[in-house]
Structure 1
Amino acid sequence: MRVAVSAALLTSAIVCSSFAFADELLQEGITPATDASQVPAAAKLRKDTVIAGISEPQGIFNPYFFVNGWDENVTNVIFARLIDWDSHGKLVPGLAESWQVSDDGKTWTIKLRPDLTFSDGSPLSAEDVAFTLTVLYDPKYDGDTDITLAHIAGGDAYKQGKADSVSGLKVIDPLTLQVTTTQPGATTLQKIGGPVLSKAYYGRGYQRGELDYLRTLHGKPLGNGPYIYDKYIPGQEIRFHANAHYYRGKPPTPRFIYRVTNPSTNFQLFQTGDTDYDAFTSRPDDIEQLKLLGFANINLYGSSDYSKVEFNLKRPALQDVRVRQALIYGLDRQKLVSVVYQGYGSVAVEPIAPISWAYNTQGVNPYSFDPAQAKKLLDEAGWKVGADGIRVKDGKRLELSLLVSKKVLNDALIPIAKENYRQIGVLLKPQVVDFNALMSQRKAGNYDLASFSTSTLNDPHDGVWDFYSTEAAVQGYHNAEVDRLINEGNATSDIEKRKPIYHQLYQVLANDPPVILLANRKILSASSARVTGFRPDIYNGLTGSLPDVNIVK
């Protein structure tokens, strides 16, 4: 039985134990199961279904409208991308068979595979791709995909109502789309190469500025991916069946289910065979428990994301950069990483992961834990220690709310941050909510600090885009130099030219921080020996290999 241990106890106990595991750290890659005969009986009874764990889906199953990363995991099952990533982050053909770009980097010609269809058997053509990209320029579109980064010619005119179509989108024939942009861009291809929506289904009666009909279909998705959506039971599971029209062939496993799990239940459900795949916290205890099961194929690989605590700069106290810097100096992030990851993580210094070509900490302030420096900065900012130890300025105490969702990282963050901040004269008031409520409160601006992680970062641009003035409007962050460098870094696809731009950008962000960078981590997952084909990687998660997953007979 798995015993829950409070983060407060872990703080003192696990930091020490982590060093004992230093010589026994699991190597990256797949560690195969040692005894497949230990597969639980409950799992063996499932002859045609594979079950994977998922946390807190919201039910918006459209790849361009979800606001929850778990919903993205669902849409990745239902929708195929025009252009995919391989396990090294390189763009490779998906629904698109090939593509070409003009010498000036401004015109892309995309060729679709022949005989593509949606899951209902209707044809998928270049018209559907053009429709999808047009929707992203709609003035009422409010999803997370910022197509303006692709700089498609005529996109702004369409959005502003000055044109009836996007002039840069030209359907040459049913299999060919030409996309003309106003400037070259490093992320243009990934922006225009996303999932494809059916014009016949999602665009029925579509007119610019009217997306209500499309929104009614969030719970009735029509895709073209490996599986077809069947049913969502909130708080329990999401069901799918294999797509016979999938362009790579019908997946060998007839049925797939996402079962809702959480850190307190996922190991037990995997142990009893109620799930065949799930993710776990990368730390020695979790790895050892999985090894002891015998039937677990253990996957360990570096992530491309990072965790963070965001500042709400609309709060007067946080508008002072000295206060923000003090809150970074005053948080023992190394202790947090040691408690949570125990050798399988590191303190984040830049808004990118160590696996990225853009990663380079030289010249960037690492903000090593320094309570004395934190106190000095708060003194300089005019926050004086009050009688009860909490700082006061202009009659107001330095009290800050912290929004967190329920997960292992935050279980440790709360006691560490409360203690650290109390020592420098800051009263922290944590508020634990579910992830969807966290994102809702953040959007409404009802927070001082908010803890969450980025999604997978396929390009260094993805790691900094949230700090661009228009994107950071919710948190109130604006830095003209940051905006300039973000644009400059995205204006060329030449990595050697981009590297120094991002290195400079990371220094600017360190001096004027929009967030407290917390951790880079390794990702731990496990699959049951009763199934084969799971090869999760940084860029595709489990869904990239899902079409190849099979049940061992």
Structure 2
Amino acid sequence: MNVTPQLLRKPLAMIAVAAIAASTALLPASAEPKRGGTLTAVVNPEPAFLVSAHNPVGGVLQVSSKMFEGLLTYDLEMNLQPALAESWDVADDGLSVTFHLREGVTWHDGEPFTSEDVKFTTMKIWKELHPRNRVNMAKVTDVETPDAHTAVFRLSEPVPFLLSVMNGGESQVVPKHIYDGEDVGKNLVEKDPVGTGPFKLKEWRRGEAVILERYDGYWQEGKPYLDGVIFRIIPDEAARATAFETGEVQYGGFTPVSPCTAQRLGTLENIGVETRGYEFFGTIFMFELNLRDEVLKDKKVRHALAHAIDRDFILENVWCGFGTPTTGPVPPQLTEFYTDDVPTYEYDPAKAEALLDEAGYPRGEDGIRFKMVHDPLPFGPNFVRSAEVVKQNLAEVGIELEIRTQDTPTYLRRIYTDYDFDMSSTTLSALPDPTLGVQRLYWSKNIVEGVPFSNSSGYSNPEMDRILEAAQTENDKGKRVELFHQMQKLAQEDLPIIDLFVMSQATIFDKRLKNHTTQSDGYPTFADAYLESE
């Protein structure tokens, strides 16, 4: 079924509920998939390349995920399931992971998929070129290949989150015989994509479309059902919305239009809106505070700011309800590690004023306590609109806020190199394990000048470092959960970051399209998707 944004409480937001909930995104048990037809989807921005084993960026992944696969995949309940690996074993001491690979799998050129491909991808791509796996797999010392269908990862220390990143969205396997050579990175960008997925490249018309066709040798017998997929490049949002309305485009992932436009499209008879399928990310909208500032280094001031900001109003009126509340840096959807037993900061301007008075910042004769500058993330108008709400909120408690907008390079330099900011808005994908996503904003060793989306607040607490570093290698699941509970409590007490809400991504689709949302990592293969007859 389709789900609606979970916080559509305002009358305006409720308009879309009936229409969105009425459509069916996934395959009913009694339905028989229809074979044939070509799906037209939209991708924005246009991919710069089509193989993403070394650089898993969104626009590329929306296309490459139909051609390449990982060892594992996620179902809609965030359970790991077999993909190129049929099964896997983790040693009791956590120092090895053995993947038993699927037999009978071939690359799009007909060559067999083997353990040598897994070793090559791991050691030469994930460990050397991949921006996150260089860290995630730093303790992988070797991949042994005792036979063509067994890959044994050897580790110098336990890596309890290793399996979490073996899905196709994060870690795609590529063929050694195609991409190995003197310059593997160059090969991945310049050579045509050759994967194991249900679709293969037919044509790339740059600036216009990427055209995929069915791979008849796909290892899942009888799939895919579609003859092909055309990914159209439509840079203008209004044009994308029109293409959905007219039926010219039948699919778009990762909220291809603004949240409020998505809400409107969901009221149309032929269009559905699906917010499932993105649980892997747990993306939080947040405000980072620069603790180098004399005022903001005071914890009472940070607590006051949290009480002064009306999160619910921002979510409902700026983001049209596409989000869910969170009590801290680990999203509630990450049920294994989440706790709500943390300090919380409800919207309470009177409490904010009292804390500011206690901190020694009374209102002046002009009613102003102090001034701040806010740098919104330059990724769309909603970040500026959110800042405008915060400006009004803070004015109510005597803080004058200047909103400073800029292009992306300037923003990144200002926040992550010059540290020339008071408050910035940004987003964080928590990912399936807090070590993978959350740690980077709270670990003092990740205060790295010039590295985007690192610890820009300058937050440093030896106790937080101890907790995070212990969790990196703790092999006892119960102890590790307790460490992350401690981490959340400390993060909410120190409050270097004000977490607003977990953002909901949306898939826009033509209701004739069935079985498009089958995974929780945002990048379905479309092996099960089909178009219902008119």
Tell me the TM-score range normalised by the shorter chain: 0.7 to 0.9
Deviations 1:365-418 (A, max 9, x none): 2221233444555566666766766555xxxx533333331154x254132022
Supply the AA of the counterpart residue of 1:32.
Answer: T
**8 A Cα contact 1:312 1:447, kept in partner:** no
| 1:55-90 Cα deviation digits (max 9, x unpaired) | 335525443443743333333223201111122111
Q: Residue 367 of structure 1 corresponds to which residue in structure 2? A: 345
- One-letter amino acid of the structure 1 residue matched with residue 524 of structure 2: G
Match of 1:31 in 2: 23
Q: Which runs of 5+ in 1 are unaligned?
A: 1-13, 34-46, 155-167
Instruction: Give the drift of 1:134.
Output: 1.2
Task: Give how far 1:522 is off.
Answer: 4.6
Q: What corresponds to 1:484 in structure 2?
A: 466
Aligned counterpart, 1:164:
none
In the alignment, the residues of structure 1 paired with residue 218 and residue 130 of structure 2 have an alpha-carbon distance, to the nearest angstrom, of: 29
Q: Mark the CA change 1:299 to 1:401 in structure 2 (over 3 Å): closer, same or farther.
A: closer
Question: What is residue 295 of structure 1 aligned with on the other side?
Answer: 270
The answer to whether 1:506 aligns with 2:488 is: yes
Cα separation, partners in 2 of 1:289 and 1:169, compared to 1, 3 Å? closer
Q: Write the distance in 2 (CA, Å) between the matches of 1:330 and 1:339.
A: 17
Aligned to 1:546: 526
Distance 1:507 1:149 in 2: 28
Offset of residue 322 of structure 1: 4.7
> Is the Cα contact below 8 Å between 1:30 and 1:299 reproduced in 2?
no
How far apart, CA to CA, are the structure 2 residues paired with 1:452 and 1:264?
Answer: 25
Tell me the distance in 1 between the aligned counterparts of 2:84 and 2:22: 28
- Match for 2:133 among 145, 170, 174? 145
Q: Superposed, which structure 2 residues align to 1:180-191 within 5 Å? A: 180-191=154-165
Cα deviations by residue, 1:314-371 (Å, 9 ceiling, x for unpaired): 8535555455444333321121122145566333212233233246554312221233
Q: Which deviations, in whole Å up to 9, do the C-alpha atoms of 1:421-440 show, x marking residues without a partner?
A: 33432323242657x88667
On the 8 A contact 1:32/1:296 being kept in 2, the answer is: no
CA distance in 2, matches of 1:220, 1:377: 60
Distance in 2, Cα, partners of 1:437 & 1:552:
47
Which is worse superposed, 378-387 or 243-252? 378-387
Deviation at 1:519, TM superposition (A): 1.3
Which piece of structure 1 moves more, 461-470 or 180-189?
A: 461-470
Matched AA of 2:348 = D
Letter in structure 1 aligned against 2:528: D
CA distance in 2, matches of 1:28, 1:461: 35
Q: Which residue identity does 1:488 align to in structure 2?
A: A
Contact 1:51–1:275 at 8 Å: present in 2 too? yes
Structure 2 spans left out of the alignment, 5+ residues: 1-7, 26-35, 449-453
Q: CA RMSD in A?
A: 3.8
Partner of 1:421: 394
Match in the other structure for 1:129: 118
1:274 matches 2:256: no
Distance 1:169 1:216, change over 3 A: same
Partner of 1:203: 180
Residue 311 (1) aligns with residue 288 (2): yes
Distance 1:16 1:132, change over 3 A: closer
1:86/1:29 Cα in 2 relative to 1: closer, same or farther (>3 Å)? Answer: farther
Partner of 1:353: 331
Task: Tell me, in whole angstroms, the C-alpha distance in 2 between the residues paired with 1:70 and 1:399.
Answer: 32
Query: 1: CA distance between counterparts of 2:19 and 2:277?
Result: 11
Deviations 1:140-172 (A, max 9, x none): 6361334445732x3xxxxxxxxxxxxx32111
SS at 1:398 equivalent: strand
Provide the aligned length of Structure 1 versus Structure 2.
495
**Are positions 1:336 and 2:314 aligned together?**
yes
Report the alpha carbon displacement of residue 180 of structure 1 after superposing the two structures with TM. Answer: 1.9
When normalised by structure 2's length, the TM-score is 0.78
Secondary structure at 2:527's aligned position in 1? helix
- What secondary structure is seen at the aligned counterpart in 2 of 1:119? coil
Aligned to 1:233: 206
The answer as to whether partners of 2:55 and 2:130 remain within 8 angstroms in 1 is no
CA drift of 1:122 comes to: 3.1
Q: Are positions 1:174 and 2:148 aligned together?
A: yes
Distance 1:118 1:361 in 2: 43
- Structure showing the higher helix proportion among its residues: 1
CA contact (8 A) 1:405 1:433 kept: no
Contact 2:331 2:502 in 1 (8 A): yes
The answer to whether the aligner puts 1:17 opposite 2:15 as a matched pair is: no
Tell me how far apart the structure 1 counterparts of residues 327 and 49 of structure 2 sit (CA, whole Å).
Answer: 33
Percent identity between the two aligned chains: 24
CA distance in 2, matches of 1:239, 1:430: 41
Judged with a 3 Å threshold, the aligned counterparts in structure 2 of structure 1 residues 27 and 477 are, in CA distance, closer, same or farther, namely farther
Deviations 1:434-475 (A, max 9, x none): 7x8866775555763443434473334444133234445342
Does residue 531 of structure 2 align to residue 531 of structure 1?
no
Q: TM-score when scaled to structure 1?
A: 0.76
CA contact (8 A) 2:288 2:426 kept: no
Between the aligned partners of 2:213 and 2:418, the Cα distance in structure 1 is: 40
Residues 308 and 297 (structure 1), Cα distance of their counterparts in 2 relative to 1, 3 Å cut: closer
Residue number in structure 2 paired with 1:401: 375
Distance of 1:224 and 1:437 partners within structure 2: 40
Give the residue type in structure 2 aligned to 1:270. Answer: F
**C-alpha distance in structure 2 between counterparts of 1:251 and 1:390, whole Å:** 63
For residue 237 of structure 1, report the CA deviation from its aligned partner: 4.2
2:88 is paired with a residue of what secondary structure? strand
Q: Contact 2:373–2:404 (CA<8 Å) still a contact in 1?
A: no
